[in-house]
Amino acid sequence: MTVGRMGGRPESPLEWIGWLEGKLSKQRAEVRKYSAYYDSENKTLSYAQQKFSEVFGDLFVGWRDNFCPLIVDSISERLRVQGFRMGPEEEADKDATEIWQYNGLDAESNSAHIDTLMGGLSALVVWGDEDDMPLISPESAEEVVVQYEPGSRRKRAAALKQYTDDWGTEHATLWLPAGVYTSELISTDGHRRVWADPKYTKNPLGKVPVVPLLNRTRLSLLPFSELANILPVQDAINKVAADALVASEFAAFPQRILAGIEQPPDDASDAELEQARQQMIRAYIDRILTLDSADAKWGQFEAADLKNYVVLIDMLVQHMASQSRVPFHYFLLNGGQAPSGESITAAEAGLVAKARERMLHFGESWEEALRLAFEVKGDMSRAKAYSAEVIWADPEYRSKAQLADALLKMKELDVPSKQLQEEYGYTPTQIARFDTMREEEMKREKELADKYAPTVIDMATGKPVKPGQQPARGEAKPKSPSDKSASVERQKAAA
């Protein structure tokens, strides 16, 4: 069957698949444009002069002077999820962390952040396994697309995942509030794609369980890639670098000029051409120039200064750094010397602010995904934990000594120890273990104190006092000869 109705809102599952397939195709093309640059698969040589290919051929096919991965990775490396606050109860936080670890999201979340920063968006699919444990699966924007209800930026009408398996079969999974439908591509006839009748599965959540993970957006809900305004500058850098390679071949050596040597005619025979070649001077290899003709003259142009290309590339890289708010020392500008002290804080302030802003957008998606995960478990109270928030690691890089000094000052403001430990970078799991570790240490110290404490003698009975037991009467007296002598002397002095 195919989509049989043109125009209007899709109604049947097949109509939804056809509609979302077209939307996904456009989204996929946009994302792949950016992924080609991030993966350094952009065609650098297309910006070079024709001489580049003539001289070098395929020599530099794999060459890339690509800064795009740096733009994305400099942000993603500062976006690390440490835990969650699901409300006033700490037990809910532990359950959220368990769901996070069950799905391996320590690593998967980083991949999702990279894809979102690179292409502008990705998706989080929430479902349950056979044991009713929540599954949160980050998905690429090349395979998943979401459709919102008209006039809404939050309520989702449908979502589609389309992918090809290892055997070449295309699959489609359609999520609607009422159910989940799966289908396979039967045949393709030009632009007409025929899908099999979808198989229905009930959707117990009653909502589309696909949460978009969006990069910074405006109210129009059009997320953008971090590379959107970087690609033209990157192309210019590749162009100038390719020109520099051509110049290094043709203009980096002194160019010699010969005049007064008769050129062979166009219809010259092979013998005449050979004679002319013998008369030609091999300017690139000869050290001593000899001219047979008395009228022949020669001169030379000086070698080109390739520093002009370096200056131009440095200028373009500076523009890229300014537009992306990535510090100059990341690009090895100014000798690649990283600033120190307060200077590095000021240099990275823009990048840190940019990372914090991305935390706002990404955090909303992770919070919604976790609320859906609790709904999968049937925990409706935590499924409505709208005060939930993500605990992010500090995006600002500081020395441990500097951070510890700042936390000690915060301690003077009566900030709780757990909050200070969190600020230092410990995860909620580590902080929870601290109480157990302290209790074990105190227990061990008490055992050692009881075992190796000095023996105390009850003066009245002359018997040792057990650890923790008070003497029956009188003053406790250590069992040592020096203490006994001192006591006798005191008694004589009193008499």
CB-CB contact of 291 with 334 (8 Å)? no
In-domain check, residue 442: no
194 in the same domain as 119? yes
Backbone φ and ψ for 378, nearest 5 degrees, come out as 85, 10
* Residue where one domain finishes, among candidates 300, 330, 364: 300
**Higher-confidence residue: 264 or 409?**
409
CA distance 164 to 481: 90
Mean pLDDT along residues 95-120: 94
Closest residue by Cα to residue 81 from 399, 389, 396: 389
Q: Among the listed ranges 162-166, 174-178, 291-295, 408-412, which one has the minimum average pLDDT value?
A: 291-295
472 found inside a domain: yes
**Do residues 161 and 33 share a domain?**
yes
In a domain, 72, yes or no: yes
Total domains, the chain: 3
Q: Which of 330, 312, 363, 329 is nearest to 71 (CA)?
A: 330
Rounded to whole angstroms, the Cα distance separating 228 from 224 reads 7
Percent of the chain with pLDDT over 90: 42
476: domain range?
Answer: 453-494
Q: Do residues 23 and 97 both lie within one domain? A: yes
Of 267, 300, 333, the residue at which a domain comes to its end is 300
399 falls within a domain? no
* Residue 93 sits in the same domain as residue 191: yes
pLDDT for the residue 217:
74
Specify the higher pLDDT residue, 300 or 380.
380
Starting at the edge strand found earlier in the chain, the sheet holding 456-458 runs 464-465, 456-458, 476-478
Please give, one letter per residue, the 3-state secondary structure of the chain: CCCCCCCCCCCCHHHHHHHHHHHHHHHHHHHHHHHHHHCCCCCHHHHCCHHHHHHHCCCCCCCCCCCHHHHHHHHHCCCCEEEEECCCCHHHHHHHHHHHHHCCHHHHHHHHHHHHHHHCEEEEEEEECCCCCEEEEEECCCCEEEEECCCCCCCEEEEEEEEECCCCCEEEEEECCCEEEEEEEEEEECCEEEECCCEEEECCCCCCCEEEEECCCCCCCCCCCCCCCCHHHHHHHHHHHHHHHHHHHHCCCCEEEEECCCCCCCCCCHHHHHHHHHHCCCCCCCCCCCCCCCCCEEEEECCCCCHHHHHHHHHHHHHHHHHHCCCHHHHCHHHHCCCCCHHHHHHCHHHHHHHHHHHHHHHHHHHHHHHHHHHHCCCHHHHCCCCCEEEECCCCCCCHHHHHHHHHHHHHCCCCHHHHHHHHCCCHHHHHHHHHHHHHHHHHHHHHHHHHCCCEEECCCCCEECCCCCCCCCCEEECCHHHHHHHHHHHHHHC
Over residues 269-324, the pLDDT tens digits come to 877 777 666 655 444 444 455 556 666 666 666 767 788 888 999 999 999 999 99
Is residue 74 located within the same domain as residue 204? yes
Q: Please count the residues of the chain.
A: 495
The answer to whether position 376 is within a domain reads: no
Domain boundary among 162, 186, 214: 214
Assigned domain for 247 exists: no
168: left (phi over 0), alpha (psi -120 to 50) or beta: left
70 within some domain:
yes
Q: State yes or no: pLDDT of 191 exceeds 70.
A: yes
Name which residue leads in pLDDT, 469 or 161: 161
User: What pTM was estimated for this model as a whole?
Assistant: 0.76
Judge contact between 179 and 207, C-beta under 8 A: no
Look at 240 and 226; give whichever has higher pLDDT. 226
**Could you give the C-alpha distances from 281 to 71, 227, 276, 292, 396, in angstroms and in order?**
51, 51, 10, 10, 64
Separation of alpha carbons 462 and 369, rounded Å = 72
Cβ contact 345:396 at 8 Å: yes
Average pLDDT of the residues in 235-240: 88
pLDDT reported for residue 96: 92
The CA dihedral of 228, 232, 237, 238, to the nearest 10 degrees, is: 100
Does 120 share its domain with 267? no
Whether residue 17 is found in the same domain as residue 140: yes
* Same-domain pairing of 201 and 268: no
Kindly state the average pLDDT of the residues 108-112.
95
pLDDT at 289: 56
Residue 283 is predicted with a pLDDT of 42
Burial class (CB in 10 A: 0-12, 13-18, 19+), 299: exposed
26 and 158 in one domain? yes
204 and 273 housed in the same domain: no
68 contacts 234 by C-beta, under 8 angstroms: yes
Residues 290 and 205 in one domain: no
Residue 415 domain flag: no
Look at 402 and 231; give whichever has higher pLDDT.
Answer: 231
Judged against a pLDDT cut of 50, whether residue 394 lies above it is answered with yes
The confidence score (pLDDT) of residue 33 equals 93
In terms of domains, do 265 and 190 share one? no
Tokens of 152: 């809404």
Q: Which residues, listed in sequence order, are joined to residue 334 by a DSSP beta bridge?
A: none
